[in-house]
Structure 1
Amino acid sequence: MAQSVLHTAASRGVADHGWLKSYQTFSFSGYFNPERMRFGALRVLNDDIVAGSKGFGDHPHDNMEIISIPLSGELKHQDSMGNAAVIREGEIQVMSAGTGIYHTEYNNLPQEPACFLQIWLFPNQRNVTPRYHQLSYKELAVPNQWQQLLSPNPNDEGVWIYQDAWFNKGVFDAGTTTSYTLKKPGNGVYVFVIDGEVEVNNQPLHARDGLGIWDTDAITVNISSKADILLMEVPMTL
């Protein structure tokens, strides 16, 4: 029988640094909740708003798969691998930190806030050579269909990471019913509603709510009002 855990938007940790407002689904930095450490391999899901021209100075990561999905605005990225890029809404960025990287991330616009999802997954291989990948998916999006953004396979649609995880995103009209079948036995799926109202396996969800489901092969999603949804299928054991 399917099991689930609900994380409402209002139950998340909040950090307000003036230039940064961060809503944290799982324990992160100053927010600690022993019951909210991770969902399987999904370790961090931060919903960040960065003020104009502000951002994160040079800082290190290692042995983590780090995914950024801008929702509005622009982020300027630089790293110790020599990458320098701007990522925008409709794009996804991934870094396999592996043996270690340093990077900076700043709002590229002086007046407009940048909103993005910062997501960390534990890798299935440690101490790999660090790598960076950025991809635009906006041109391939089809209304009322799931679009794969991430997988473990370099030759599949979207970016890839060192983990048996698949991310799908979709924008659905009110009244639509859709489903998702998990790719790998033993995985779970974390549903994050970016915008709108939905029901997942009869559980109502609103904007920025999250629902983790495991011990199931598939989920059903009923769209109550036009919705933008991110599905993150991840291993439940490390």
Structure 2
Amino acid sequence: MLRKVEHDNMGTSDLGWLKSIFHFSFSNYYNPDNMNFGVLRVLNDDLVESNTGFDMHPHREMEIISYVVNGELTHGDNMGNENKVTRGHVQYMTAGTGIYHSEHNLGDDVLRFLQIWIVPDKKGHNPNYGDYKFDWEKRKNKWFHIVSSKNGKAPIKINQDVNFYVLELDKDNNIDFSVDKNRQAYLVQIEGSSNVNNISLVERDAMEIVEEDILIKANDTSHMFVIEMKKV
């Protein structure tokens, strides 16, 4: 099963300093028929103006991954962590029993990042923070596995049976992706445009994939993200 999700039909918010597209119900956007996709609870595509951001605030019982598309993202938390990541890099956090953190754009350019929340395998995990600065070339014309479960092989390991892959596919190139029985995946066209099993996707569109293999052809340079998980 494939279902295209057009970005024009997603939730939106414009606070001036922050412009967001919500793939699932979040903040002022509420749709009881669009609360999650499996254990994927939140996927926000955020644009944050320079010298603004999210001041210290709490989270609990979520696995939170931030993927920077452009600009720079500076993290701080009540455990004493503070670090900055830029294009193609990742911050991750186990909110667990409770954590306070902040996210700011202290750079000169608009920050664009994907904020992703995954429901954990159980409650009560100890809070944790980390970040990775990945070589961009590792995702050129091939899937780069960046997040897995604690039993998986990706460099970032979280408390859930999920896998995150990222890709930059050159124009006119093809690549496949398999979604096995009892598995499902959520694909995001971060930048560029492509055809997925002959379905057209443009920047910020998404696709739900359930137990089906896909073939992607890049119409132009395509920056893409896939979150693969157990079927729920």
TM-score interval w.r.t. the shorter chain? over 0.9
Q: How far 1:142 sits from its partner (Å)?
A: 4.5
Match of 2:113 among 112, 116, 119: 116
- The equivalences for 1:7-26 within 5 A come to 7-26=5-24
Query: What SS class does the counterpart of residue 14 from structure 1 fall into?
Result: strand
Identify if the C-alpha distance between structure 1 residues 112 and 187 changes in structure 2 by more than 3 Å, giving closer, same or farther. same
Q: How far 1:112 sits from its partner (Å)?
A: 1.6
The residue identity in structure 1 corresponding to 2:188 is F
Match of 2:178 among 177, 181, 190: 181
Query: Whole-Å Cα distance in 2 between the matches of residues 52 and 226 of structure 1?
Result: 27
Query: Whole-Å Cα distance in 2 between the matches of residues 139 and 20 of structure 1?
Result: 27
**Unmatched tracts of structure 1, length 5 or more:** none
Query: Whole-Å Cα distance in 1 between the matches of residues 229 and 208 of structure 2?
Result: 10
Query: What SS class does the counterpart of residue 127 from structure 1 fall into?
Result: coil
The superposition leaves residues 154-179 of structure 1 with CA deviations (integer Å, 9 ceiling, x where unpaired) of: 67233111111111111111221111
Query: What SS class does the counterpart of residue 8 from structure 2 fall into?
Result: helix
Query: What SS class does the counterpart of residue 102 from structure 2 fall into?
Result: strand
Match of 2:148 among 148, 151, 154: 151
Between 1:4-13 and 1:134-143, the stretch displaced more is: 134-143
Query: Which residue of structure 2 lines up, in the alignment, with residue 33 of structure 1?
Result: 31
- The equivalences for 1:189-200 within 5 A come to 189-200=185-196
Query: What SS class does the counterpart of residue 76 from structure 1 fall into?
Result: strand
Q: How far 1:199 sits from its partner (Å)?
A: 1.5
Query: Which residue of structure 1 lines up, in the alignment, with residue 134 of structure 2?
Result: 137
Query: What SS class does the counterpart of residue 147 from structure 2 fall into?
Result: strand
Q: Is the 8 A contact 1:187 1:236 kept in 2?
A: yes
Query: Whole-Å Cα distance in 2 between the matches of residues 139 and 196 of structure 1?
Result: 16
Equivalent pairs: percent with the same residue?
36
Query: Whole-Å Cα distance in 1 between the matches of residues 38 and 187 of structure 2?
Result: 13
Q: How far 1:90 sits from its partner (Å)?
A: 2.0
Give TM-score scaled by structure 2 length: 0.95
The residue identity in structure 1 corresponding to 2:229 is V
Query: Which residue of structure 2 lines up, in the alignment, with residue 6 of structure 1?
Result: 4
